[in-house]
Amino acid sequence: MIRLFILDVPEFRQVIEKAAQSAQRSGPAGDYVEFDSDEAITVDRRAAGVRRAVWYSAIAALSGGKVAQYDGDALRIEPA
Amino acid sequence: MPELNGHLVRGVDHAAFPTFDPAATVRFYHDILGFPIVHSVCAVGWGPADHPDFVHFFFDIGQGDRIAFFYYFGLAPLAEPGRDAYATHGAQVPGFFRDSRHLALHVDSVEVLEEYARRLEVAGEKVEMRIQHETIESIYTHDPNGYLVEFTCPTRELTAGDDRDAVLTLRALLDVVADGEPSLARMWARKADLIVAQQR
């Protein structure tokens, strides 16, 4: 199972919203928001409206998944 | 609107340097000198095609000023241990590594940031980048010596959560560096374990 953590701060708020729509479950985990999913988690960068300089540091922690795509278009995490 | 005449910079936001040995760096600045770990950025390499994944981490040096380091995953040492990691560089050293050593001066507002951009441009100097980062907005130029100089204003206050995240980042980074073959993916996985352990 993918366990993705994003730091719960203003600059990642839109990434958090889009990841929550993609992951099967999400919720607070201390200073982070945790996203759990048995299927791929995908976030479209433009749909999230995130600048590139912030986009590439959105992942705080990740287990059970591998980053299949992380470029100017999208972040896609697939089950490991 | 602030008064835009005169001397507007407010000291050092951060002075940044590259490191090949984050464990020794944390031991020196945090464990020995007692500087708090206050902020970190863990990012997939972006911008130049040769830019590796990296961790940018900060120690408080008092009065809100910071010393910062860049650790680049998979980058072989470009200087001998104990030698200045900049002065020994030849032409083969990539630009991202050269520019990781920089001085970032603090300004209080975007208006002041723009005033310094104006002063540079009026004098024919180039504002090479203007970037809204995670928690700061910055402009960059190189001085006549080739040193990167940054002017930066905060876009939000750093919180205790940012600081706790930085501590976990460095614990995870030092663990995967000690294990050998460090990578951003391994660091993310180790950090996930640390976060989950904290939740219990």
Q: Determine the structural domain holding residue A47 and report its residue range.
A: 2-79
Residue ranges of the domains in chain B? 12-160
**CB–CB contact A10 B156 (8 Å):** yes
A57 CA: distance to closest CA in chain B (Å): 4
* Sequence-ordered list of residues with C-beta below 8 angstroms from that of B110, at least 6 positions apart, any chain: B137, B153
Contact assignment for B192 to A51 by CB distance below 8 Å: no
pLDDT in tens, B136-195: 999 999 887 778 899 999 999 999 999 999 999 999 999 999 999 999 999 999 999 999
Q: What digits encode the pLDDT tens for the residues B86-124?
A: 666 777 888 888 888 899 999 999 999 999 999 999 989
ipTM of the modeled complex: 0.91
Question: For the structural domain made of B12-160, what CATH number should be given?
Answer: 3.10.180.10
What is the Cα–Cα distance from A20 to B108, expressed in whole angstroms? 35
Q: Work out how many domains chain A is built from and give that number.
A: 1
CATH code at A19?
3.90.56.10
